[in-house]
Structure 1
């Protein structure tokens, strides 16, 4: 029997879903569709390049590294450009459009060179849309629903991230391993994503009196971002050093003797935990102090690192992977929300661009370091190093909490 308290809680939860603006829902489904399209291709592309086109594993690694670095650098400039133009949707739509129009190249590519070009342009598209889209989420969402809005978009995005590879696996089985057929099907959600942002997302009018930005990267403008913002960026960078690439979760699964056909299930489990938790955590962060919620996420990461370092067998692995996914749900949308809270409205694009650049470079450093530690000390050394960086991040959160509190008071 439902109590009055439970009924009231359920009605409040439903009210939050209804209050979130339609533009946030649309952006969430735009992200979902594009992730389905991209992950269908990216889940198969390394195997396709090695087995069908005869590319070396080193070449695959170099292509992926350059592509992701390109995306991180592009995010910085696109965010600043959106502040200079005073327009977010135009750049976000351009980014999704570039990604959509490169998708047909993958099934048509006659050589590795064409695939490299398509991958490069696709990542440029990702870089162009990233910071303006996040700034647009902040512009559209009411202040009291900002955490829920970022959490919802992140949940929908992550659903696409695990549904895409599952769909690719199913289609490979149905088509008897016809890569081209799967790549052609992946084109469809990519174009749907582009159409959806064009027709369903409306950019709010620029508030009257909002200051115009002429030189986003000037010293004075970067200074206007404020100490609270730079503390959030610094903490996020150290935190990113703690949460290296999820590829090491796959390696951990392989190291305990999990059958090769089951190894990809590790990322599916992680993304399910991520998708389920991101929205409720966003809602929670609108009701209590956001930094407190972030601290909970860091303790989840600490527990995941320790489990993955020491817990034996498949049960320890699954628990560690679930905790890793939950920590992502507790932290990724929340860090974006903290950036939106700390940065002035007219500089949100620049703020998200700089944030994405710093965390992207930190992730690259973290993954290289984790790989070196793995070779030198094995899984235990890698995940224990992650635990140490997590503790450093927890220490760094104390001044962030103080500075954000002062900003809210002012």
Structure 2
């Protein structure tokens, strides 16, 4: 499948189609996400610590379901049915959010939405890896994350236009309209193609996750990613911090769009650089910038600081998200890419539960700057740990070792 033509040179047709799917899904998600924490705290009256719990449970649900869906996708003849089911569940979650009137309903909606994300992510990433030639996966994942994030730019701007047109008191209608691009993503995923694979020898057995055969670099990167994620609480706290520093709803949404625009512009170039120079300097640089950004949010005194910090946060995600997925794909055994991608996402997701709940408690009990001080420390620690290690995590490491 890596040789199938596509409109973008160097990117396979499947990667292109799945990137369009993610674009539509992210338009839907990001129409809601910038205003969701404000909706929870103002409309539904939830305290910030409860927002942390809701987002932690939501991301934890996504994380814990990824290893199971990844394992299952390695054993089924096709990965696409899981991908399609995941996008469908997320569309349902957005519909439930539109009719939420108390925070437990919002929790259920977020649970459904993130369960969908967890169901689709590892199979989709494995399909991207299957559809890309070795040595060019940084480019493939960078393109996918880039187009995904273009949707994350369009989504907040579209949501902001709808809020301005309909009024801040009609957020539920905005949530309802966000279901439409979510449904489009379900339709688009049917355009992807996949070879039917022979069932593995383990098909029909009870779930047994085989984690043997991965090199030391996989476990090093998993440990570094855990440390990074421990301080990387839900982005809802960035939005609440922007509001805390004096930005209004429209400015918060625009700042979030600046973050996503930076992320989208740099994701593909970051993947190309990682393919050429190796992933280690790109990832370590991303963790280092993250520490600096969170340190900036710790020390910020006014809304003017929010704009460059959100742009710099986009640099962080461009350097770490797609490149991290490419590293895991390259290091995972060929017959268990879905499983090892699922484990990676599960570790990040479960750590996000702790990080987000802890951030909410720190915000309420210590102050709004406290969660960001923790993130600054873990980001700098992850950069130092990865930079100091000599264990190979990419092809270039292996050829120069």
CA distance in 2, matches of 1:390, 1:406: 24
Which one has more relative contact order, counting CA pairs under 8 Å at least 6 apart?
2
Distance 1:47 1:96, change over 3 A: same
Judge conservation of contact 2:17–2:192 (CA < 8 Å) in 1.
yes
Question: Equivalent residue for 1:23?
Answer: 14
Judge conservation of contact 2:266–2:318 (CA < 8 Å) in 1.
yes
Judge conservation of contact 1:83–1:213 (CA < 8 Å) in 2.
no
Q: TM-score, normalised on structure 1?
A: 0.83
Judge conservation of contact 2:283–2:323 (CA < 8 Å) in 1.
yes
**Contiguous gaps of at least 5 residues in structure 1:** 1-14
Deviation at 1:355, TM superposition (A): 0.7
Deviation at 1:314, TM superposition (A): 4.2
Q: Does 2:290 correspond to 1:298? A: no
Distance 1:400 1:264, change over 3 A: farther
Question: Equivalent residue for 1:189?
Answer: 181
What is the total number of aligned residue pairs between the two structures?
A: 391
Out of 105-114 and 242-251, give the one that drifted further.
Answer: 105-114
CA distance in 2, matches of 1:358, 1:135: 17
> CA deviation digits over 1:360-381, x for unaligned, max 9?
1222222333344445654555
Q: Does 2:392 correspond to 1:386? A: no
Distance 1:213 1:290, change over 3 A: farther
Deviation at 1:216, TM superposition (A): 9.2
Distance 1:183 1:21, change over 3 A: same
> Which of residues 315, 340, 344 in structure 1 aligns to 2:333?
344
Out of 64-73 and 24-33, give the one that drifted further.
Answer: 64-73
Between structure 1 and structure 2, the one with the greater Rg is: 1
Deviation at 1:41, TM superposition (A): 4.0
Distance 1:373 1:138, change over 3 A: same
Q: Which has the higher helix share?
A: 1
Judge conservation of contact 2:126–2:337 (CA < 8 Å) in 1.
yes
CA distance in 1, matches of 2:296, 2:34: 27
CA distance in 2, matches of 1:46, 1:256: 15
Q: Does 2:386 correspond to 1:402? A: no
Distance 1:364 1:104, change over 3 A: closer
CA distance in 2, matches of 1:407, 1:28: 29
**Contiguous gaps of at least 5 residues in structure 2:** 1-5
Judge conservation of contact 2:89–2:113 (CA < 8 Å) in 1.
yes
CA distance in 2, matches of 1:149, 1:70: 27
Judge conservation of contact 2:35–2:249 (CA < 8 Å) in 1.
no
Deviation at 1:327, TM superposition (A): 1.0
> CA deviation digits over 1:321-342, x for unaligned, max 9?
2222201111111110110011
